[in-house]
Chains A and B, each alone.
Chain A
């Protein structure tokens, strides 16, 4: 995978394979931001990425704002969908989550609160097309 990297997928299995390819580039301290509309498949992609880390209990964090898992790494799985502004993120102590270098952080709907996103991050943008296919676009910001 050379970033930026773009791939069109047609089936769930395609997405699972893509997650398996992407996981090789992740190490502790990384932040991965996922953008895409409702139903784009953000949680699905994360679920299958983390399966490879031995995490089997990934569910949507929309209600909880952040889920925590442990596998090969400790993982914080955020969802900004329900967050109204950046001060709410400060209130839940987002800096404490971000300052932990031993974890991997996934953020769904990161584009809703762009100001909080760290400079160094991966972005995975998912577009759901009318023909049922999905376009994945991976960008690495250094």
Chain B
């Protein structure tokens, strides 16, 4: 079976092909397509997705030695994300499915992330605990099987990745914040400053807004308006990173004590952070659980995870009608 996946929920456009359970292409626009396909396209626009989706599709098919007619099912992200961006990928996929008379499957982007560990050679075992951390989302979920997901907690304000970006901006380190903070943190003392970790009692929810504000306070108090010396930058980055990791691990640990699982999956863009990866690996060792963390190309937004999730839905008898609409947000009662 040949599965086509299309992802356009936010900044990246991505097209992937899974052919007989093997990933044969996973092309992502942020790689070097902007230069390849002519001119500078705005980072944040539906037009950028429009310009890039067809070239990506052609390349993905060529890379897989397939033609459009060989595709059996077509999967696209329906949400959550930016409505204009989602519309491009979703409408394109529906048009393809209609014209080729193939099955169409609308995929939830978060479910794509949740199962992205299955794109690795070492796969998660059910039931597993999934920690989804990205620029837009922070969720802790209990995954019993492909059709059974239960949300334990999510952020009540900022996402973990957003906290990285904003603190990076406060420190003048630039965007994207994750890699910058990680780089400076490597040379810093993570125990130098004790930034608070939000304690939302009796829940698995997260909060990163207070942490962000306390970093700002620290900077204002100690360096009001002045340039922050390099040593201090390193220490602030390291101490902040430690606080984020601690907050994430704390709830994961609580979940492991309460629920019986076989493995732990760390997924989403922030799963690229080495300190967090290490902390999850150590947590897995302590609780004697298998840990699966996708490789870098499957951490950020990608269509491989959309194709994989779509195929699993199809195998469980789920397809979508061609009037499926995009949805911008996760409703409060999803995964309940």
Binding site for B on A (CB under 8 A): 37-39, 41, 43-44, 47, 56-57, 59-60, 62-69, 82-85, 87-88, 91-93, 128, 130, 132
Contact = CB atoms under 8 A, between A and B. Distances in A.
B48 to A, nearest CB: 8
B183 interface: no
Tell me the interface secondary structure of chain A in the complex. loop
Given A43-B158, A91-B45, 6 more contacts: A57-B331, A62-B162, A64-B10, A64-B328, A84-B42, A88-B43
Nearest to B45: A91
B157 A60 contact: yes
B332 A56 contact: yes
Interface string B142-183: 000000000000011111011001100110000000000000
B81 A64 contact: yes
B22 interface: no
A92 B46 CA distance: 6
Interface stretch (B191-199, B208-216, B306-314, B315-323): B208-216
Interface in B120-158: 134-136, 155-158
Nearest to B161: A63
Contacts of A82: 44
Nearest to A60: B158
Given A91-B84, A92-B84, A68 B220 contact: no
A92 B82 contact: yes
B329 interface: yes
Nearest to A55: B332
